[in-house]
């Protein structure tokens, strides 16, 4: 954060929320945007001799990204696959200003001790009004779906903004009865429910999407309809409880299949308060990546870097996710960064941990939607900035006077190659090893 005033000019300002899309300038001071505009910077600013100036010629100036889903727990004590320093370095390298951390079965945030551990071991959360690492806390104890979490006590314990929603992101284990009560509770408190739409009994023990690839490799397959079936149930429940708790909001944390995209599209058409997210593997890869032959890995079958949850689906599913991003069915792109240790990935596929280092690749991989599929840049950028900020209830991800000056300069066209060994994150497992991408942050 630069305390002194700084003028960035001659850059292409890009912000869907503010309607900015053209040459312009931004003046910031004390880490806050003080003034901005289209066109040339005002002559009086340019004339100030001791005002620091950055010439953004040839570059886009974009808001800092808001990542609505990471599964990193950098406060773990014993040899975490990501520590606070590497987490922050990776975020900075990836252009991510705000990254939500979600509770998980391995690291629940369901009582005061776990909440405080999460909050106060992260240096970025010292600013009480604008936390850079908001939390998605458990809806049920341990995410186990057996008992309600103490949401009132947890909300009372921290300033508003630190808790950005509730999420049980294991394949959701709750019975329908408990889910109904938990959602009513969350809705009454104005909390958005982030749900991974995979019913636990369908997802348990699976290693890949069911289909020819999983069958050929002998991997336990997840029924491809599991996501759509779970969403259909979730939306029926949502519609039924909404009259009682009209503030309830539902967010599908990761949508990965054609059936899932269609279900979200139908729910939105029905007028339900629903948002949905996906992550780059689901719009760039399909289950052929398990063979490691997609992006020039070692070329052998069983590439554990491609072991993700939800699992990579078929090419038809991938194309449906791209279409869902283009038509607005999918609102948000998340990194779904889930760091794991080398030991946990260096295993036969069936035993390897699910996870991916994604903070540093989410922006360039997403830009391929623009470069290769022609998605308009403002639309794409909104899914990485404004939409996730709204989802998390934060005044971030915009170029606006009074907002944090977390903007970055982007060279949209410059190419580079993703190399896991050069990532700042301690987790260096990515199914995109060797992939060529465009888009480099230059400031």
Partner 1 sequence: MHAKIPPLPNLLDCADLTPQLVASLFDRAQHWLGSWGQPLADSETSKQPTVRPRPLERPLAGLVQHNLFFENSTRTSVSFDQAGKLLGSSVSAVNMAASSLSKGESLYDTLMTLAAMRPQLVVIRHAASGAAAFAAQHLPDVALINAGDGRHGHPTQALLDAFTIQQNKGALTNLSIAIVGDILHSRVARSNLYLLQMLGAQVRLVAPPQLLPAGVEQLGASVHHDLASGLADVDVVMVLRMQEERMGGSFIASRADYFAGYVLTHQRLAVAKPDAIVMHPGPFLRDVDIASELADDPARSVILAQVEHGVAIRMAVLERCALSREWIAP
Point out which residues bind partner 1 (CB under 8 A): 201, 204-205, 207, 210-221, 223-224, 298, 300-302, 343, 346-351
Sign of CA dihedral 417, 420, 421, 425: positive
* Distance in Å, CB of 317 to partner 1, minimum: 14
* Distance in Å, CB of 259 to partner 1, minimum: 14
Residue among 35, 91, 26, 32 at smallest CA distance from 61: 26
Residue with Cβ nearer partner 1 (215 or 419): 215
Given a contact cutoff of 8 angstroms between Cβ atoms, the answer to whether 371 and 320 are in contact is no
Helix (H) or strand (E) holding 41: none
DSSP letter for 218, please. T
* Structure token pair of residue 39: 């066109």
Residue with Cβ nearer partner 1 (242 or 308): 308
Q: Of how many residues is the chain composed?
A: 443
* Distance in Å, CB of 78 to partner 1, minimum: 15
> How many C-alpha atoms does 378 have within 13 Å on its Cβ side?
13
* Distance in Å, CB of 283 to partner 1, minimum: 22
Given a contact cutoff of 8 angstroms between Cβ atoms, the answer to whether 110 and 141 are in contact is yes
* Distance in Å, CB of 218 to partner 1, minimum: 3
Residue with Cβ nearer partner 1 (3 or 205): 205
Residue among 224, 328, 232, 234 at smallest CA distance from 278: 328
Residue with Cβ nearer partner 1 (274 or 306): 306
* Distance in Å, CB of 305 to partner 1, minimum: 13
* Structure token pair of residue 239: 């519609």
Look-up: residue for tokens 């309830």? 248
262 Cα distance to chain centroid: 21
Residue with Cβ nearer partner 1 (57 or 216): 216
């Amino acid at each position: 954060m630069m305390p002194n005033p700084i003028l960035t000019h001659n850059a292409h300002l890009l912000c869907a929320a503010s309607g900015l899309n053209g040459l312009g300038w931004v003046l910031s001071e004390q880490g806050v945007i003080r003034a901005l505009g289209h066109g040339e910077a005002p002559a009086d600013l340019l004339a100030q001799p001791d005002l620091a100036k950055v010439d953004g010629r040839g570059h886009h100036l974009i808001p800092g990204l808001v990542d609505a889903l990471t599964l990193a727990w950098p406060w773990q004590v014993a040899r975490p696959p990501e520590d606070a320093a590497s987490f922050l370095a990776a975020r900075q390298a990836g252009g991510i200003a705000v990254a939500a951390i979600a509770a998980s079965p391995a690291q629940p945030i369901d009582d005061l001790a776990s909440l405080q551990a999460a909050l106060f071991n992260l240096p970025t959360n010292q600013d009480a009004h604008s936390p850079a690492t908001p939390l998605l806390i458990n809806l049920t104890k341990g995410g186990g779906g057996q008992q309600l979490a103490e949401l009132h006590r947890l909300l009372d314990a921290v300033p508003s903004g630190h808790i950005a929603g509730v999420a049980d992101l294991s394949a959701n284990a709750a019975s329908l009865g408990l889910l109904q009560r938990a959602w009513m509770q969350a809705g009454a408190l104005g909390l958005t429910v982030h749900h991974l739409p995979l019913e636990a009994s369908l997802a348990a023990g699976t290693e890949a999407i069911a289909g020819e690839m999983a069958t050929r490799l002998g991997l336990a397959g997840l029924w491809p309809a599991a996501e759509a079936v779970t969403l259909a149930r979730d939306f029926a429940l949502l519609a039924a409880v909404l009259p009682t708790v009209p503030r309830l909001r539902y967010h599908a944390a990761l949508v990965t299949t054609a059936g899932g995209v269609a279900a979200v599209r139908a729910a939105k058409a029905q007028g339900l308060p629903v948002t949905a997210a996906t992550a780059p593997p689901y719009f760039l890869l399909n289950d052929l990546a398990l063979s490691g032959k997609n992006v020039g890995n070692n070329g052998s079958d069983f590439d554990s870097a491609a072991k993700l949850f939800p699992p990579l689906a078929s090419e038809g599913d991938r194309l449906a996710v791209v279409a869902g991003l283009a038509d607005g069915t999918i609102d948000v792109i998340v990194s779904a960064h889930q760091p794991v240790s080398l030991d946990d990935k260096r295993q036969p596929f069936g035993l390897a941990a699910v996870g991916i280092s994604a903070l540093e690749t989410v922006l360039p991989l997403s830009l391929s939607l623009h470069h290769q599929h022609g998605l308009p840049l403002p639309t794409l950028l909104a899914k990485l900035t404004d939409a996730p900020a709204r989802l998390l209830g934060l005044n971030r991800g915009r170029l606006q006077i009074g907002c944090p000056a977390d903007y970055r300069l982007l060279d949209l066209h410059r190419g580079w190659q993703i190399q896991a060994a050069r990532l700042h994150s301690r987790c260096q497992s990515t199914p995109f090893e060797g992939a060529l991408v465009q888009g480099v942050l230059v400031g």
